[in-house]
C-alpha cells in the first residue's frame, strides 16, 4: 500500500501552496519550509539588534524571498508572485527600517551621558543666592558631565580658590585630577584660573551648544598634554582667552577661534607642538607680543578671517614649519615682522596690497600670491624682498 505524507502544520505554512503528489518531494518541501521559518525568526530577532540593516535586509530578506518563490511556487505563478512578494517585503522592510531609525534616534537623544551628581563637587552659592559656583571636583569618575544646576541653582562658573594670598596662587576646580573627558554645560559663563591645569590625562572637552561662556582665565588648560579635542568655536559669546590658557597643549591639532573673541593673552597658545591649523577672528586685539603663538613647529596653515583691518607686528614668532597663510581683502595695513618663520611661507592675498607699517611684514623664505586685478602691487616694497606671483 502506498504511503501518504502527512499535511504540513497549518500554523507554520497555511498560507503557502503544497505539493502532496510525491512523499519524498513533499518531505523535501517541508525541510525547506522549516528552514524558511527559521530564517523568519532570525529576521525578526535582528530587528532588535544593532546589525538589522546590515544583516537582515542584505542577507536574510533576499534569502526568504528566493526560498519561498523558487522552491514553493509552481513555475506559472512565479512572475506574478515574485512581484507581489517583493512589494510586500519591501513595504514591510521600509516600515520597519523607518520605525527602527526613529526609535534609535529617540534612544540616542534620551540616553545622553548623565550629569554627575552634586556630591561629586564642592561648591558655593553667589551672593544673590541665585547661582552655584563649582570650586572643586571630588568625584571618582574620569568622564565628567558638569551639572547645569545644583540644588535648583544654575551653575555659572568653575571658580578658582586662593591657596597663597602672598603670591596670588590659585587652585583650579579640576586641577591635578585624572579626568579624561569633560562636558561643560551651556550655563557656564566663566572658567576660572587653572581650572584644568596639569590634567595630563584629559583628551576631550565638549562645550554644549548655545553656550554662555564669556571668559577662559589664566592657565585653564595649561600642561594638558593629551588634550586633542575642544570645540571652542561653538562658544559663540567667548570674549577672552587669558595668558597661558592653552600653554603646552601638545596634542591639539586645530583651533578655530570664535568670532566674538577680543583678547588673547600672553603665551596663550605657546608650545602647542602638534597645532597644524589656526583660524583667527577679526575682532581680536593683537598688540605686539612675541609669545602668544610662540613655538608651533607643526603649524601648516594660518587663516585670518574676513574683517581684519590691521595685522600687528610680531604675531607669530619662532615658527619652523612650511606654512600657508591667507590674508583677507579687508586687511589695509600690516606691522613689522608679523610672521617670522625659519621655514617657507606661501602667502595668499585676497585683496589690495596692504600698507606696511615700519618695515617688512614677513621674515623668512616667502612667496606671495595676489590677484592681478587688485591694486598696489606694482610699487610695494614686498616685491623687493620676496617673490610675488600674480594669479
Q: Per residue in 301-345, pLDDT tens? A: 999 999 999 988 888 877 889 999 999 999 999 988 888 888 999
The β-bridge partners of 48 are none
Q: Per residue in 136-193, pLDDT tens? A: 999 999 999 999 999 999 999 999 998 876 677 899 999 999 999 999 999 999 999 9
Query: Taking residues 101-125, what's their average pLDDT?
Result: 75
Q: Please determine, for residue 19, whether its predicted confidence score (pLDDT) is greater than 50.
A: no
389, burial (CB in 10 Å: exposed 0-12, middle 13-18, buried 19+)? exposed
Question: Which of 289, 343, 341 has the alpha carbon at shortest distance from 311?
Answer: 289
Q: Please determine, for residue 4, whether its predicted confidence score (pLDDT) is greater than 70.
A: no
The 8-class DSSP code of residue 54 comes to: I
pLDDT band at 11 (very low <50, low <70, confident <90, very high): very low
Query: Taking residues 84-95, what's their average pLDDT?
Result: 60
pTM above 0.75, yes or no: no
Q: Are 340 and 323 in contact (CB under 8 A)?
A: no
Element housing 132 (H / E)? strand 131-137
Which residues, including other chains, have CB under 8 Å from residue 264's CB and lie 6 or more apart? 241, 257, 284, 286, 292
3-state secondary structure of 74: coil
Q: Are 26 and 18 in contact (CB under 8 A)?
A: yes
Question: Which of 104, 69, 75 has the alpha carbon at shortest distance from 88?
Answer: 69
Q: How many whole angstroms separate alpha carbon 268 and alpha carbon 109?
A: 36
Mean pLDDT for the chain overall = 82
191, burial (CB in 10 Å: exposed 0-12, middle 13-18, buried 19+)? buried
Query: Taking residues 355-369, what's their average pLDDT?
Result: 91
pLDDT of residue 202: 98
Which residues, including other chains, have CB under 8 Å from residue 110's CB and lie 6 or more apart? none
* Least confident range of 16-30, 157-171, 205-219, 353-367: 16-30
Rg (Cα) of the chain, in Å, rounded? Answer: 33
pLDDT of residue 259: 94
Q: Per residue in 50-79, pLDDT tens? A: 454 555 555 555 555 555 555 555 544 545
pLDDT band at 42 (very low <50, low <70, confident <90, very high): low
148: left (phi over 0), alpha (psi -120 to 50) or beta: alpha
pLDDT of residue 316: 81
pLDDT of residue 130: 94
pLDDT band at 38 (very low <50, low <70, confident <90, very high): low
With cell 617688512, the residue in question is 360
Amino acid at each position: 500500500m502506498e504511503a501518504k505524507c502527512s499535511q504540513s502544520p497549518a500554523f507554520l505554512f497555511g498560507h503557502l501552496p503544497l505539493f502532496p503528489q510525491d512523499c519524498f518531494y513533499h518531505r523535501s518541501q517541508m525541510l525547506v519550509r522549516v528552514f524558511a521559518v527559521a530564517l523568519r525568526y532570525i529576521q525578526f530577532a535582528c530587528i532588535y539588534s544593532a546589525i538589522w540593516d546590515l544583516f537582515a535586509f542584505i542577507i536574510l530578506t533576499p534569502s526568504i524571498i528566493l526560498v519561498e518563490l523558487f522552491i514553493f511556487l509552481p513555475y506559472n505563478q512565479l512572475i506574478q508572485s515574485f512581484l507581489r512578494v517583493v512589494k510586500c517585503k519591501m513595504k514591510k522592510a521600509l516600515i520597519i527600517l523607518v520605525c527602527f531609525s526613529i526609535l534609535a534616534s529617540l534612544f540616542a537623544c534620551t540616553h545622553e551621558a548623565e550629569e554627575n551628581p552634586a556630591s561629586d563637587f564642592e561648591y558655593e552659592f553667589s551672593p544673590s543666592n541665585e547661582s552655584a559656583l563649582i570650586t572643586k571636583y571630588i568625584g571618582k569618575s574620569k568622564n565628567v558631565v558638569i551639572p547645569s544646576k545644583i540644588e535648583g541653582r544654575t551653575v555659572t562658573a568653575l571658580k578658582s580658590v586662593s591657596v597663597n594670598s602672598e603670591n596670588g596662587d590659585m587652585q583650579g576646580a579640576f586641577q591635578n585630577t585624572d579626568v579624561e573627558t569633560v562636558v561643560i554645560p551651556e550655563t557656564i559663563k566663566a572658567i576660572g584660573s587653572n581650572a584644568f591645569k596639569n590634567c595630563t590625562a584629559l583628551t576631550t572637552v565638549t562645550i554644549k551648544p548655545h553656550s554662555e561662556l564669556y571668559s577662559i582665565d589664566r592657565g585653564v588648560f595649561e600642561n594638558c598634554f593629551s588634550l586633542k579635542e575642544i570645540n571652542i568655536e561653538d562658544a559663540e559669546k567667548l570674549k577672552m582667552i587669558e595668558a597661558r590658557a592653552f600653554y603646552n597643549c601638545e596634542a591639539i591639532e586645530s583651533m578655530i577661534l570664535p568670532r566674538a573673541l577680543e583678547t588673547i593673552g600672553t603665551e596663550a597658545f605657546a608650545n602647542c607642538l602638534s597645532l597644524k591649523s589656526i583660524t583667527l577672528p577679526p575682532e581680536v586685539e593683537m598688540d605686539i607680543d612675541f609669545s602668544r603663538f610662540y613655538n608651533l613647529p607643526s603649524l601648516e596653515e594660518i587663516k585670518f578671517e574676513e574683517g581684519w583691518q590691521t595685522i600687528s607686528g610680531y604675531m607669530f614668532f619662532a615658527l619652523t614649519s612650511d606654512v600657508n597663510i591667507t590674508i583677507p581683502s579687508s586687511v589695509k595695513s600690516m606691522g613689522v615682522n608679523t610672521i617670522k618663520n625659519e621655514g617657507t611661507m606661501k602667502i595668499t592675498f585676497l585683496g589690495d596690497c596692504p600698507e606696511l607699517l615700519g618695515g617688512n611684514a614677513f621674515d623668512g623664505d616667502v612667496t606671495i600670491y595676489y590677484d592681478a586685478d587688485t591694486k598696489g602691487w606694482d610699487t610695494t616694497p614686498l616685491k623687493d624682498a620676496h617673490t610675488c606671483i600674480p594669479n
